[in-house]
Structure 1
Amino acid sequence: MSRPAIRRLTSRVVYENRWMTVREDEIERLDGSRGIYGVIDKNDFAVVIPAENGGFHMVEEYRYPIGRRTWNFPQGSYPDRRTGVVPEELARHELAEETGFRAGKMTELGYLHGAHGTSSQGFHVFLATDLVPGESAREPEEQDMRQRFVTRAEFKELIRAGTITDDSTVAAYTLLLLHEE
């Protein structure tokens, strides 16, 4: 087995909370030169595409880091960096928590990384169908969340208009299109 292109020499945690750890690693490259690498370690999350009647159920909320509201597919992870999470269980939890819907059928479409140059976090994408409405149970951070149904044509227009800017939502839609081929 060949040596990795970048090898970690030392590592130190520079910040952590219940959602993430930020660390700074001293690294060595193949040519022997050294440097530092900042890494955000976060647990994987689930993105759920709740689909029915030729469209999707979307959620919108204020996103503090970008200072604006955006629409996206329901998504999230458990707090406290919980390990041993079954991706489908997380997807079902996020769907119910954010929209109130329960899925009769959950199909895994794939696994992706959103920022593999800076973060270890990836995400599992699920298609939720045979939806049954119910009550949502949003977290305090989601108290301003809105929900609505959009047709596929509206969904594409929201991307074009810059209303949907979430990379995991757009990537999940791409996996759905590949699944439907």
Structure 2
Amino acid sequence: MTFIERLASREIYRNPWMVLREDDIRRPDGSAGIYSVVVKPSYALVMPYDGRRFGLVEQFRYPIGERRWEFPQGTAPELADADPVELARRELREETGLRATTFEPLGRLDVAPGMSSQRGWVFLATGIVEGEADREHEEQDMRSAWFSRDDVEQMIRTGVIADAQSIAAYGLFLLRPESTGAPVTDQGQ
């Protein structure tokens, strides 16, 4: 199968969080075109879980002009890629003050693969120890709180949690056999 070929690439814009790149391309049928790509570093999303409740953070999200509840998540500074577990550990501590003894990988997410190169890793953090948050300047309005599983599901249903990565992460959590509370059985028999 023939894929799109990149003929040339140029940086249009850069800041400490992202790069906008524009590529000259050739499509499989031979026609020329351009493709714009938002280049962002990998991120980690952490689901702090104490066995009964999930830890969420609420913050103002400037692009949509609203405060939103979501799971702690973020990238390394200055567009750097970092070890996913170390990044998860850092984001959890920074945004919530929590520490965890275990970071179970639940899966990987592509944020918006039609326009961005950013990928993220989802971790379930358990063995939680409380501590003081060490938030970045941009996170000064952030707050954190614990919510039951029923509360999280209601927040998703009603749009209180609308962050796509947080909803996808919760779906990955639910796909774990032990998340349903039902015994694991062989469905093929």
TM-score range, shorter chain: over 0.9
**Residues in 1 aligned to 2:10 and 2:160: alpha-carbon distance in whole angstroms:** 38
User: What do residues 110-161 of structure 1 show as CA deviations (whole Å, max 9, x unaligned)?
Assistant: 1110200000001000000010001110001100001111111111111111
Provide structure 1 residue ranges, at least 5 long, that are not aligned to the other structure.
Answer: none
More strand by share: 1
User: What do residues 76-124 of structure 1 show as CA deviations (whole Å, max 9, x unaligned)?
Assistant: 01111113x1100000000000010100111111111020000000100
Output the TM-score relative to the length of structure 1. 0.95
Is 1:98 the counterpart of 2:76? The answer is: no
Q: Could you tell me which amino acid in structure 1 is paired with residue 155 of structure 2?
A: L
1:79 to 77, 80, 83: 77
- Work out the percentage of aligned pairs sharing the same amino acid: 51
**Residues in 2 aligned to 1:112 and 1:64: alpha-carbon distance in whole angstroms:** 22
Provide structure 2 residue ranges, at least 5 long, that are not aligned to the other structure.
Answer: 179-189
SS of 1:80's equivalent in the other structure is: helix
Aligned residues: 178
Following superposition, the deviation at residue 14 of structure 1 comes to: 0.6
Cα RMSD, aligned residues only: 1.0
Partner residue, 2:135: 138
SS of 2:12's equivalent in the other structure is: strand
**Stretches (4+) displaced over 4 A:** none
**Residues in 2 aligned to 1:66 and 1:11: alpha-carbon distance in whole angstroms:** 30
Following superposition, the deviation at residue 180 of structure 1 comes to: 3.3
Q: Could you tell me which amino acid in structure 1 is paired with residue 36 of structure 2?
A: G
Output the TM-score relative to the length of structure 2. 0.91
Partner residue, 2:38: 40
- Of stretches 136-145 and 48-57 in structure 1, the one that deviates more from structure 2 is 48-57
Q: Could you tell me which amino acid in structure 1 is paired with residue 48 of structure 2?
A: P
